[in-house]
């Protein structure tokens, strides 16, 4: 940056200096936008592919790169594709009606249907279809209706709402205790808590599964004090119950932020008769809104994209599946290729986190302190 903001040298014209600064900034901006375009190109490819029709995907290299559809002509109640037909007068856009024999085909002119059938001799099977720009949103509406995507979104939002309450309440309480109270061996307990981050999920998967099966599905449902309509399905409990016992990563982020808040504020509140809970609610949390919002969104992204546990505990109970497993459910959509449907379902899974991140980025990044240093 110093290269583009250098001072004027003796004998150098002001115009030369301005050209130097402009060209340097232009090259830097070009490099940045080139890297950004390369980074976002997979998303652009996914969207373009998702709105392509089945005919365009089957055409391969004969189809354009942009989303397009093949126009149809209705003749005697039947739709026929429009082809590019070479003639003595140039390329004509005619509808292929019949192929009575090899090397011969009958067409009809969409602009002049009263002309009747137009005979044409040639290899009709190598003709290219006519494609015009058009978007096919069947890859989005099909899964939403046939695969029950709306039900998956509803289930995911319920699990997110319940688990958000648990993870925020427990993580804030633990972080507040580590940052403000003198706990015997608190330093080593915090190190032990952070060390649990190093434990792979695959190691705890089998023990937790056996616990939930033996407790939730065998023992608890037969207890007299639980013989009432439960608020949520039993299958969802393994998805949000662990989050009521805090998360090591979230505790670390919250604790580091709480440590950056001066203790003088706590002492002033104590002189006014405030207790620990009131200090937390009225002093600590209002100054930690960015990091709390960050923790809430990180947890939202985790549950929104959760696939393994929901597939394991939901089993074949399709009504309780979350969004990610439902998007993996194979369905056949008329007029949509398999690749377009796959890209569309991936976009459905990605668009909500991107929108939330875009809308709340200023809110949760503002004055967030991670290690005691303002970012």
In a domain, 193, yes or no: yes
Res. 132 pLDDT band, cuts 50 70 90: confident
Same domain as 319, residue 174: yes
Same domain as 293, residue 171: yes
Q: Which of 98, 130, 162 is the last residue of a domain?
A: 130
pLDDT at 256 over 80: yes
Structural domain count of the chain = 2
- Residue pLDDT, tens place only, 327-375: 777 666 666 666 677 777 777 777 778 777 777 766 655 544 444 444 4
Name beta bridge partners: 129: 83
Res. 164 pLDDT band, cuts 50 70 90: very high
**DSSP H helical ranges for 181-285:** 186-195, 201-214, 237-240, 248-259, 263-271, 276-279
pLDDT at 236 over 50: yes
Collapsing DSSP to helix, strand or coil, 182 comes out as coil
DSSP 315: T
Domain residue limits at 228:
147-329
Same domain as 227, residue 160: yes
- Residue pLDDT, tens place only, 42-80: 888 888 888 887 777 777 777 888 888 888 888 888 888
Contact call for residues 345 and 327 (beta carbons, < 8 A): yes
- Residue pLDDT, tens place only, 4-47: 555 555 555 555 656 766 777 888 888 999 998 898 888 888 88
Q: What is the mean pLDDT of residues 237-248?
A: 88
- Residues contacting 220, CB < 8 A, separation 6+: 226, 234
Enter the pTM of the model.
0.72
In a domain, 213, yes or no: yes
Res. 265 pLDDT band, cuts 50 70 90: confident
pLDDT at 186 over 70: yes
Question: How much is the pLDDT for 244?
Answer: 92
Same domain as 159, residue 308: yes
- Residues contacting 348, CB < 8 A, separation 6+: 140, 143, 144, 149, 323, 327
Q: What angle do CA 298, 301, 303 make, to 5 degrees?
A: 110
Question: How much is the pLDDT for 371?
Answer: 41
CATH number at residue 179: 1.10.3720.10
* Residue (of 333, 327, 328) closest to 52 by Cα position: 333
> What is the C-alpha to C-alpha distance for residues 364 and 304, in angstroms, rounded to an integer?
19
Same domain as 303, residue 154: yes
Same domain as 312, residue 184: yes
> What is the C-alpha to C-alpha distance for residues 67 and 72, in angstroms, rounded to an integer?
16
Same domain as 320, residue 222: yes
In a domain, 4, yes or no: no
Hey, what are 319's tokens? 């009504």
Residue 159: count other Cβ atoms within 10 Å of its Cβ. Answer: 21
Q: What is the mean pLDDT of residues 79-104?
A: 86
Res. 230 pLDDT band, cuts 50 70 90: low
Instruction: Compute CA distances 303 → 6, 18, 188, whole Å.
Output: 50, 52, 30
Q: What is the mean pLDDT of residues 110-137?
A: 84
Question: How much is the pLDDT for 366?
Answer: 57
Structure-model confidence comparison of residues 196 and 13, the more confident one: 196
In a domain, 296, yes or no: yes
In a domain, 18, yes or no: no
Which conformational region is residue 246 in: left (phi greater than 0), alpha (psi within -120 to 50 degrees), or beta?
A: left
In a domain, 358, yes or no: no
Same domain as 155, residue 114: no
């Amino acid at each position: 940056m110093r290269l583009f903001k250098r001072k004027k040298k003796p004998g150098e014209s002001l115009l030369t200096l301005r050209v130097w600064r402009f060209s340097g900034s232009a090259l830097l901006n070009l490099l940045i936008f080139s890297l950004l375009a390369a980074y976002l190109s997979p998303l652009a490819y996914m969207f373009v592919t998702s709105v392509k029709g089945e005919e365009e995907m089957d055409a391969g290299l004969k189809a354009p790169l942009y989303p397009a559809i093949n126009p149809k002509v209705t003749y005697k109640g039947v739709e026929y594709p429009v082809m590019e037909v070479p003639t003595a007068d140039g390329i004509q856009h005619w509808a292929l009606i019949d192929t009575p024999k090899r090397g011969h085909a009958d067409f009809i002119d969409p602009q002049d249907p009263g002309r009747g059938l137009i005979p044409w001799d040639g290899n009709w099977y190598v003709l290219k279809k006519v494609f015009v720009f058009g978007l096919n949103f069947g890859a989005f509406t099909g899964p939403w209706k046939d695969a029950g995507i709306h039900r998956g979104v509803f289930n995911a939002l319920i699990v997110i709402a319940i688990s958000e309450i648990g993870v925020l309440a427990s993580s804030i309480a633990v972080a507040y205790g580590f940052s403000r109270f003198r706990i015997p061996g608190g330093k080593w307990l915090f190190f032990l808590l952070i060390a649990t981050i190093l434990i792979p999920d695959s190691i705890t998967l089998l023990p937790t599964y056996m616990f939930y099966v033996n407790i939730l599905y065998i023992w608890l449902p037969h207890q007299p004090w639980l013989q009432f309509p439960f608020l949520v399905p039993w299958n969802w409990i393994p998805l949000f119950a662990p989050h009521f016992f805090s998360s090591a990563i979230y505790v670390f982020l919250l604790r580091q932020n709480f440590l950056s808040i001066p203790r003088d504020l706590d002492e002033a509140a104590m002189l006014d008769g405030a207790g620990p809970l009131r200090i937390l609610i009225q002093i600590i949390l209002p100054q930690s809104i960015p990091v709390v919002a960050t923790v809430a969104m990180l947890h939202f992204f985790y549950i929104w994209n959760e696939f393994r546990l929901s597939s394991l505990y939901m089993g074949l109970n399709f009504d309780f599946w979350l969004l990610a497993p439902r998007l993996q459910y194979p369905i056949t959509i008329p007029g949509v290729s398999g690749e377009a449907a796959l890209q569309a379902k991936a976009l459905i899974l990605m668009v909500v986190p991107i929108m939330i991140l875009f809308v709340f980025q200023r809110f949760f990044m503002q004055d967030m302190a991670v290690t005691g240093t303002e970012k």
